[in-house]
Structure 1
Amino acid sequence: MPDRFCCAFCFGDANLRDNFIFDRSVGTGTCGYCGTAGVLLVRPMDLREAFEVVVGVYEIVDDGESLPTILRQDWALFTHPVMQDDAHAKELLADVLDSGDLVRKNFGPPAGYGTQSLTKWDDLRGEMMHGNRWFLRKEIDYDRLRYLFSLLIEDPSVLSTRWHRARILNDGTSYALEEMGAPPPRYAGHGRANPAGIPYLYLGSSPKTAVSEVRPHAVEAVGVAEFTIPELKAVDLRGPRERISPFGLEDDQVVQLLADIPFLERLGDELTRPVVPRSAPFEYVPSQHLCEFIKHCGYDGVVYRSSMSNGVNLALFHPKVASGIVVQRYAVQQVEVHVAVLT
């Protein structure tokens, strides 16, 4: 029987692709598992050691999840359309682990698994907003936070070089290009990422995203400026589970990362969730604290999901690196409202 090779698309993990499959590749061709053409191929067994550590942290239980399901839920593996069928993913895992018996078992969380990170963050969040803002009684593990942010750096080549900022035209008069950047410090109010008096430049990935963020009314006119930015180092809080890899770590490190991911997802939510304007001065404090620490760590900005559209936002800590290109006028034709019954 001829050898059957897999590829990085089977797994969907960038670290596995760059540091395991690339080094062990036997050449280029069509994947024998997911069918992707023109990709680096690797023998499944050559990935065995990397997978054994990850699989080994889970407990075998009768009422658990299948191995592909739990790896998909915890680490966003096997998201390729073919691999979303557990039968195909199990077939590949059986070849990787050289064990058809193991992949037929059900798995649960690691022994002793649990996280206090979310509880601690909720306590910190409450203290920042309503207790002590500058001298916190509750401790923040900044060293651990710094390490976790280092795992969420967006590849500069992946980030767009063109971004947009919108401003509502209150009297219909367009703003000049030089008026479309970040406000001067004395006019910089509080924002999701910036404390009052410290201007950041908030940019959207498209004109629609930028306009959505300023919450215009229908028929209002909006000016949208296009900016170019250089390659920069930004922390991406859109999807920590998709970005963090468990491969190449010791088993205790895998378990700790697994416990930290929900916390990082909560931090991303801090920048994304809608806030009632009247409570913004204190509701924004936790995300401002977070972004000031990201800036302190030497990053240029933070990438996060838009709360008003399906687009992406970038809070740029150093507005002067952005170069304005052009301003265009847009008319807001429709504003959608979604409601839900409060319980």
Structure 2
Amino acid sequence: MATYEEVDEGKPIVQLLDEEWGFFRDSGLRPAEAKDLLADVLDDGELVRRLFVPIEHVGGGNLKRWEDLRDEMMHVNRWFLAEPMDMDRIKELLSQLIASPSTLSDLKWFRARLLGGDAPYQVDEMGAPPPHLAGHGRANPAGIPYLYLGSTRATAVAELRPHTGELACVAEFQLGKPDLKLADLRDPRSLISPLFGDESQMIKLRADLPLLERLGDELTRPVHPRGAPYEYIPTQYLCEYVKTCGFHGVMYRSSVSSDKGVNIALFDPELATPISVEEVSVERVSVQISTPSNAYS
């Protein structure tokens, strides 16, 4: 426990391990049971009763640098950045965020297109658009087509932001490689393990977890259509770098799915093949509203 400091006003070590690393998140254990388990593992019943705080990394992590870089890419410099991030560190972190093959194979994958006329799309028309028609996307720059797929039909349709009563075609896709390497940015805390490396590496890793969560949030964050051409630039930059690290795509949460679906963006559209297509009708669109925090400031 050299990465934690004992204090009078802190948190139990069981709570910290769960909050920071998700140790007991999916265990089904009650807090008291998790406490007893950790005491048995460490052979120290007294330790789990004391209070601690995490030891902070001197450098503070890379989240602030990403926020500065994000603003610079959108509003100051686009191609030659004043102070690029430590991308070697990003590459090192991404190596711990590889989606498991079972996660990909256990899910089905779909792409949807809104009908623009009376005739439904054929199955061979359901792939990614050709380069000259590929617009800006969450992961791809204009002119470089990626294939976006959702893990459910409803997720694929919801990503189109349809109106009630509109018709869409939904195709099911088969992934073409059993060993696809995707960067899984849905929940970095559940994937990254602090058990590898020494105490200094664990402290550094803890400092970078907020950055990884922010990168996942960037891919999920809703973007207004009028702002898309420049607001997508940070995530396009991120995905371009992920591609240079040898990944075939990224996996991220859907911001509009009503059934907890997830999305993937494949850098090579040929890595998945449409196998069937059906026409569906949008029966209902759900809307949630909130007042922006700065609305009256």
The TM-score range, normalised by the shorter chain, is over 0.9
Is the Cα–Cα contact under 8 Å of residues 56 and 207 in structure 2 kept in the other structure? no
5+ residue gaps, structure 1, are 1-54
Match of 2:208 in 1: 260
2:245 and 2:102 map into 1 onto residues whose CA distance is 21
Residue matched to 1:323: 273
4+ residue runs over 3 A deviation: 111-114
Larger relative contact order (Cα-Cα within 8 Å, sequence gap ≥ 6): 2
Structure 1 residue 262 displacement after superposition: 0.6
Q: What is the TM-score normalised by the length of structure 2?
A: 0.94
Please point out which of 230, 248, 252 is paired with 1:304. 252
Residues 287-340 of structure 1 deviation map (CA, whole Å, 9 limit, x = unaligned): 000001111111111000001112100001111121111110000000011011
**Alignment partners' CA distance in 1, 2:196 and 2:61:** 25
Corresponding residue of 1:240: 188
TM-score by length of 1: 0.81
Whether the aligned pair in 2 keeps the contact of 1:205 and 1:313 (CA below 8 Å) is: yes
Cα displacement (A) at 1:115? 2.1
CA contact (8 A) 2:57 2:203 kept: no
**Structure 2 unaligned residues grouped into runs of 5+:** none
Structure 2 residue aligned with 1:92, among 31, 37, 43?
37
2:67 pairs with one of 122, 125, 128: 122
- State percent identity of aligned pairs: 53
2:154 is the alignment partner of 1:204: no
Q: Which residue, out of 107, 129, 149, partners 2:52?
A: 107
What do the CA deviations read for 1:200-227 (whole angstroms, capped 9, x no partner)? 0000001100000001100000000111
The amino acid of 1:124's aligned partner reads L
CA contact (8 A) 2:39 2:47 kept: yes
Which structure has the greater CA radius of gyration? 1
1:259 to partner: Cα distance: 0.6
Q: Distance in 2 between matches of 1:80 and 1:222?
A: 36
Output aligned runs, 1:1-343, within 5 Å.
Answer: 55-80=1-26, 82-83=28-29, 85-111=30-56, 115-160=60-105, 162-229=108-175, 230-231=177-178, 232-309=180-257, 310-343=260-293
What CA distance in whole angstroms lies between the structure 1 residues aligned with 2:58 and 2:266?
37
Separation in 1 of the partners of 2:171 and 2:56? 53
The CA distance in 2 between the partners of 1:182 and 1:122, in whole Å, is 31
RMSD value, Cα:
1.3
Distance 1:270 1:150, change over 3 A: same
Query: How many residue pairs were aligned?
Result: 288
